[in-house]
Structure formats: structure tokens, C-alpha cells
Amino acid sequence: MSGYAAALTRFLASRASKDWRELAVFRPGGAAERAAAAADAERAAGHVVAPAPERLLAALAETPFETVRAFVLGQDPYPTPGHANGLAFSYVGPPPLPRSLVNIYRERTEDLGQAAPVSGDLSSWASQGVLLLNTALTVREGASKAGSHLSLGWGAVTDAIITAVSTSRPHVVFLLWGALAQAKRGLIDERRHHVIASAHPSPLSARRGFFGSKPFSRANEWLVAKGEAPIAW
């Protein structure tokens, strides 16, 4: 079995999906199945789609529901061939790093006074309870293809995930990067959770509010105030 529908089936049968699979969007015939089928149709039509099917739900697999305490929400996976790996903004590969990630590291340095890592792999964040998700889980690869799968049906899946985290997790800081992420703000119960919203770290928008937003220190300050351990960003 190959493709996104098959990858979804394998994920839902795995131990990693234990709590995520309870969401209605993951039931047979649900929104996740329909979006995965649409992504497979894109591949069948000759388009190269990212990330690879086996990384489709990496964000949920690497950050179990019961561990979520921070939620980084972006737009969609990197469209540059070989860049997307299923964790929003993460990159595993040789230099140069994606430009959005370079800007994230720049803000991290300014905010926390720490040198930028050499690696773009953000799985260490995921293992600490940082859910790294995009509003769309797939994208066509290639120049000018960003946003190409925003209407494929992933929005219903993302909405369900945000709503479930907001409803059932005790204290989560949501980092909403970009207009599409901020459009989800209404799904978050801000009486229980904290939202840090800013421009997207893309070179096209980072200077319009991402730089100087200090998301990492602000997130940790709020988590500590709620009795949570800070995140080693």
C-alpha cells in the first residue's frame, strides 16, 4: 500500500494515534480520509506532492495528544523539493536551510540569546510537547506552489485538531504564524490557553511583525506561570 490514504490507514492503526484517532475527522469516510484521497488524486494527475506519504501525520505521531503544551501553526508544508518532512517549519537535509526557518532561528537568537542551530530538524521541539502543524498537510512541490492544497479539505482536519486541543488539554500556548493560522484563533478558548499571534516567518512577511515578537520567551513565561516546565527551544 502506498499513497496518502494508505498512510492515514497505517497511522490510525498505530499506537501513536491512540488519542488522535478518537476525533470524528479520522473516522471512515471522514474529512481526513477525503483530503488524503484528494492528495492521492493530485499524485495520480502527475503532480509531485509533499511531504512523502509516510510523513503525512508525523506531527501527530511525534507529539501525542496527552503531551501537547505548545502548538505552532503555520500555513502549509515547504513546496521546495525535499524540504517538507511533516513537521511544520522543520527541515532535515543539507544546507541551506529554508528561509522561513532561517528567520525563525534569527528571532530565536534575538529572543533567547542563543546561537542558531546548524540543523533544521525541529523534532526535539515535538518531543517536548510542541505540536508542529500546518493548516494544510500537503502541497504541490515546485516554485510558486505554496498554498496549492489549501482548498483540498485539510482545513476541516486542522480545525478538529485545534478544537480538540483547546477543549481537552489544560494549558497550551498557541503560536499562530501568518494570516491563515490566525484565522483559526476563534477555535481557541483563550480563557484557558494563551495565544501569541504574529506575521508568518517567510521572507515576504517576517519584517511585518514576526521579527521582534519574542514568541519563545513569551511562551515559556506563560507556561512557567501555569506550572509547566519551559520548552528548550
Please list the active-site residues.
76
99 phi, psi to nearest 5 deg:
-65, -35
Half-sphere exposure of 75 (CA within 13 A, CB side): 19
CB 132 within 8 A of CB 71: no
Total residues found in the chain within this entry: 233
- State CA 64 to chain mean position distance: 13
3-state class of 195 per DSSP?
strand
CB 35 within 8 A of CB 136: no
3-state class of 217 per DSSP?
helix
